Amino acid sequence: MILKIKSKTEPYLYSAPALIVIALVMVLPIIYTVYISFTNMNVYHWKDFKFIGFKNYQKALFMLDSGFLMAFLRTVLWTAVNIILQLIISFLIAVLLNVKGLKLSKLYKTFLMFPWAMPGYVSILLWKMGMFNTEYGFLNHLLQKLGISKINWLSGNFTAFVSCIILNLWLALPFMIMIIDGALQSVDKCYYESAKLEGANFWNQTRYITIPLIKPIIAPMVMMTLFTTFKQFDIVYLLTQQNGSKTGADIHTVLTYAYENAFITNNYGYSSAVSIIIFLILLVYSIFNQKDIRGEA
């Protein structure tokens, strides 16, 4: 009897410390934001704010105009392109890194982690000034050497979008590569051995053994990367929209649009409502798209 109670409460006990910390650090801010979203906390009522019901949400829904819709669609496109490219490229690289006999694989892996090791905003600044800069950037330097004319990377909508994707891939691939590489380690080698005995080639092995087996491990990581990519603000903002160096490209994502239209007003009540709405949109979006995650749990 005692054993039964013990085994029933065990899992809760084991996970309690973790869950408590998460509740404080991640859940509490969300609750606080919801709370503020129902008040009129702004520059004029910084300390003496009061409850104003759904007014902020009404205001926020007005902000969801055509500009927001464009930004939303663009963000969906941005997320999809990035995730697909990341999955394919990092899978290939991870698999290739694990080919038997590749002696220097450790060295390669380490070098490939560099983009991740450097602090994010440093990388973005370096890319903005050192790589994409029209006058002095390395990319244009290269183009000129090859006899091609300079490209204004960050000012056309399409080229700016592509530039942001390149930078995002550069920053995000190391993580994906490492996750997939770790997951590949979990696949029991005997599966491959028996498959080889039955004459399966590389592609079949990959399709029928590797992918199904690593899917459960990487699925949640892909999910988290999906959110991170969707919420990505720094890259788009710092490359094209920072005050003092706007490039004229209009490639707003949901977060940059929200930033320019809500967050800079210092109206915390309003901005909180906007955050909550974005949160809900993401939740709904992911519920529809990722039923497998529920299955994985």
- Return the residues of window 50-109 that contact another protein according to CB under 8 A: 59, 63, 93, 96-97, 99, 101-102, 104, 106-109
**Residue of 170, 200, 205, 209 interacting with another protein (CB under 8 A):** 170
The Cα–Cα gap between 29 and 46 comes to: 18
x/- track of binding to another protein for residues 183-202 (CB under 8 A): x-xxxxxx------------
As a whole number of angstroms, the longest Cα–Cα distance in the chain is 82
CA distances from 265 to 56, 111, 248 (A): 13, 43, 22
Task: Count other Cβ atoms within 10 Å, centred on residue 128.
Answer: 22
**Residue of 131, 164, 235, 239 interacting with another protein (CB under 8 A):** 131
**Residue of 162, 178, 195, 209 interacting with another protein (CB under 8 A):** 178
The Cα–Cα gap between 211 and 205 comes to: 9
Segment interacting with another protein (CB under 8 A) among 68-76, 78-86, 179-187, 203-211: 179-187
Q: Does 211 bind another protein (CB under 8 A)?
A: no
Q: Does 141 bind another protein (CB under 8 A)?
A: yes
Q: How far is the CB of 219 from another protein (least distance, A)?
A: 8
Q: How far is the CB of 73 from another protein (least distance, A)?
A: 18
CB contact burial 270-297 (16+ within 10 A = b; e otherwise): bbbbbbbbbeeebeebeeeebeeeeeee
The count of chain residues that interact with another protein, using the rule CB under 8 A, is 125
153 contacts 139 by C-beta, under 8 angstroms: yes
Q: Does 208 bind another protein (CB under 8 A)?
A: no
152 contacts 134 by C-beta, under 8 angstroms: yes
- Return the residues of window 9-48 that contact another protein according to CB under 8 A: 10-12, 14-15, 17-19, 21-22, 24-30, 32-33, 36, 42-44, 46-47
- Indicate the residue among 2 and 25 with the shorter CB distance to another protein: 25
The Cα–Cα gap between 272 and 69 comes to: 19
Q: Does 116 bind another protein (CB under 8 A)?
A: yes
Q: Does 248 bind another protein (CB under 8 A)?
A: yes
Q: How far is the CB of 222 from another protein (least distance, A)?
A: 11
Q: How far is the CB of 294 from another protein (least distance, A)?
A: 6
Integer-rounded Cα Rg, in Å, for the chain is 24
Amino acid in position 218: I
Q: Which residues pair with 51 in a beta bridge?
A: 39
Q: How far is the CB of 84 from another protein (least distance, A)?
A: 19
97 contacts 181 by C-beta, under 8 angstroms: yes
Q: How far is the CB of 56 from another protein (least distance, A)?
A: 10
Q: Does 291 bind another protein (CB under 8 A)?
A: no
The Cα–Cα gap between 76 and 256 comes to: 14
